[in-house]
Structure 1
């Protein structure tokens, strides 16, 4: 099996992870590209034989991420956005967000998180717990849900309510989503890709972002790898179906933390 064969299946998920950490497509993809360059320059740093392909890839990324001093606010963000992001980041325990994302969104066990971050298991567990409390503090807001499956919509509504957010409403089609968003401006949008009338959740979100470009968006899809190809603008925050509540909680916290998003065009 070639190096490419070992890395390729996991690359979309590394790009998702990098974007969630940085809060933007451009900076996240730059970190992912730097990870690949590091492996090409020194293949021995990619220890797939011991860790498995995905964990080995994320471990190389972690070394680059921590070696660069972690996140600096997105360069193309305005001064107020940069200052806000840096203020929030300075208040968080170092490594806690990364540990939380690895565990909840990427599905690594605490043991895997510890191996990727090169810390002991107790430290990894503590970081995940710390992140849960730090990320959720002061992050309550108004969430709009775009989802055509009633059970999933109700589940997402329940998760958001449990986190202390209020739900402005649930829309099942593109037109309903646009109407709801304009009537009740949200602080965050949770959006499925395929809607009830075969309209696109992506189109609905892009319509709304023309009016409210600062609102963060989390896309939900059964096929995240189809949206993380690097061939066009893509979502910063993305969770896969079937999801669990921890994935939604983590993604919502991250998205509201940065309070910014990028569009995903058809």
Structure 2
């Protein structure tokens, strides 16, 4: 077992929370998993890898219904959402690098065959909104609307059947993405992914926070695994 220096541990905690929340499907379950990993003691790995490994060990081999196994989900999240290389991800989950590579290739194929859903995008920047629309469609999903403000987001969510919301946190003069989702959740219950350039600000565990968070900028694979995980494992995103 290892004991990370306090400064290194504090720096790694937000990213361990993001990974755990994405695995568990909610803020509460993910944060509890991180706390449990710390109580149980961390394996002998450097820095963030030790925390990721502790969370992975507690997550176990059970996975929500879907095309991906627990190990495939873990490897995809580690390499896409957390941006580890294959060798680092293999060390975290405890398999050989060649096996990790094989599982990742299999998981990516399974992602391409995953069931599509209807996505509402909440984004106030027109160019970014257009980018998101193209990425969502490239992942095989359908875009049911693009909202640039809280008011428009609430209206569209109530007017159009939605299977997933992809929301920017900062909507400029249009309001706040988290507030928009809170209002939507009063009448519509769907998984949500929040997009922000500063994810660490939403991963302090000091208040109610999102379960699924993607950093800007991101690539199609990160969006694909995040949408898959949110739809299949997601619970209420915020209270």
Same fold at TM > 0.5: yes
2:94 aligned to 95, 98, 118, which one? 118
State yes or no: 1:100 paired with 2:94. Answer: no
Deviation at 1:108, TM superposition (A): 0.2
What does the per-residue CA deviation read over 1:42-90, in whole Å, with 9 as the maximum and x for residues that have no partner? Answer: x6x3432xxxx11122123223333xx545xxxxxxxxxxxxx4xx15x
The answer as to whether partners of 1:222 and 1:241 remain within 8 angstroms in 2 is yes
* 2:162 aligned counterpart, secondary structure: coil
CA RMSD of aligned residues (A): 2.0
User: Structure 1 residue 249 and structure 2 residue 224: aligned?
Assistant: yes
Q: Verify: 1:171 aligned to 2:165, yes or no.
A: no
What TM-score does the superposition give when structure 2 sets the normalisation length? 0.91
Task: Say whether 1:141 aligns with 2:139.
Answer: no
Q: Pick from 48, 52, 55 the counterpart of residue 49 of structure 2.
A: 55
What is the aligned counterpart of 1:237 among 184, 188, 212? 212
Mean alpha-carbon deviation: is it higher for 24-33 or for 102-111?
24-33
Give aligned pairs, total: 237
C-alpha displacement of 1:104: 0.5
CA contact under 8 A between 1:46 and 1:60: conserved in structure 2? no
Q: Tell me, in whole angstroms, the C-alpha distance in 2 between the residues paired with 1:193 and 1:177.
A: 13
Q: 2:178 aligns with which of 202, 225, 230?
A: 202
Match of 1:76 in 2: none
Distance 1:211 1:253 in 2: 23
Q: Greater relative contact order: 1 or 2 (C-alpha under 8 angstroms, separation 6 or more)?
A: 2
- Residue 75 of structure 1 corresponds to which residue in structure 2? none
Q: Is the 8 A contact 1:174 1:204 kept in 2?
A: yes
Identify if the C-alpha distance between structure 1 residues 138 and 183 changes in structure 2 by more than 3 Å, giving closer, same or farther.
Answer: same
After TM superposition, the score normalised by the length of structure 1 is 0.82
Superimposed CA distance per residue, residues 232-256 of structure 1 (whole angstroms, 9 cap, x where no aligned partner):
2211110011222221111111111
Please, which runs of 5 or more residues in structure 2 have no aligned partner? none
Alpha-carbon distance between aligned partners in 2 of 1:201 and 1:92, rounded to the nearest angstrom: 30
Decide which of 33, 37, 40 is 1:38's aligned counterpart.
40
Runs of 4+ aligned structure 1 residues displaced above 6 Å come to none
Return the match for 1:131 from 107, 113, 119: 107
Matched, 1:27 2:29: yes
Is this contact kept in 2: 1:100–1:127, CA < 8 A? no
